[in-house]
Chains A and B, each alone.
Chain A
Amino acid sequence: NAGVTQTPKFRILKIGQSMTLQCTQDMNHNYMYWYRQDPGMGLKLIYYSVGAGITDKGEVPNGYNVSRSTTEDFPLRLELAAPSQTSVYFCASSSRPSSEETEAFFGQGTRLTVV
């Protein structure tokens, strides 16, 4: 009964370093999403995927990249970390688009600090 699993839970990066946030789901959902949550703000969509091999930009994609080689996995890559990317990152998945009447299931989040 794992649902959506994100790793790591916490990470500190130095400016200019790169890293990959991992996300995997075991519900066979086609739709997956990456959001960031800044302090005192709601979540903003970074990238989403409608199925293996298909990804697209969300509201705030700059500085990030994604890939979707399998249905289960949707990693998020930061190439050159910047302090503005300090945030909590959430991965989510859903069986249908979020535009339809279905809830998204969220991972527990990754708290990233760039120093």
Chain B
Amino acid sequence: AQKVTQAQTEISVVEKEDVTLDCVYETRDTTYYLFWYKQPPSGELVFLIRRNSFDEQNEISGRYSWNFQKSTSSFNFTITASQVVDSAVYFCALSNSFFGAGSYQLTFGKGTKLSVIP
């Protein structure tokens, strides 16, 4: 079975601080995909990044960066110089590549609520 754990339920930081959101996953598949979604207070889910299991290269996009480590089954997300607009719930998700039962769903973590205080 697949599982995604986001141990941090809520985090508060002061604006301009850096913050890292942790994501640990479990899967027996050798090929899988990892995602991060942002859910701002308005409620919609916004796609941020995807990463396949064969690509352990870290990625940076502006103030956002992602650290994927297969050895520790982690896919952590760092926001540098946080801003108030970063306040949201962030979800890590996992999908496998097998065709069949369960192959069409994303397994979501419970989310981490980030509050950036001005």
Is A108 a contact partner of B106 (Cβ separation < 8 A)? no
Digit string of A85-115 for contact with B (CB within 8 Å is 1, else 0)?
0001010100001111111111111010000
Which one, A44, A90, A101, contacts B45 given CB within 8 A? A90
Is A42 a contact partner of B103 (Cβ separation < 8 A)? no
Is B33 a contact partner of A42 (Cβ separation < 8 A)? no
Say yes or no: is B73 at the interface (Cβ < 8 Å to chain A).
no
Q: How many residues of B contact A (CB 8 A)?
A: 29
Which one, B33, B46, B105, contacts A58 given CB within 8 A? B105
Say yes or no: is B21 at the interface (Cβ < 8 Å to chain A).
no
Digit string of A34-66 for contact with B (CB within 8 Å is 1, else 0)?
000000111111001010000010110000000
Q: B-contacting residues of A (Cβ < 8 Å)? A: 31, 33, 40-45, 48, 50, 56, 58-59, 88, 90, 92, 97-109, 111
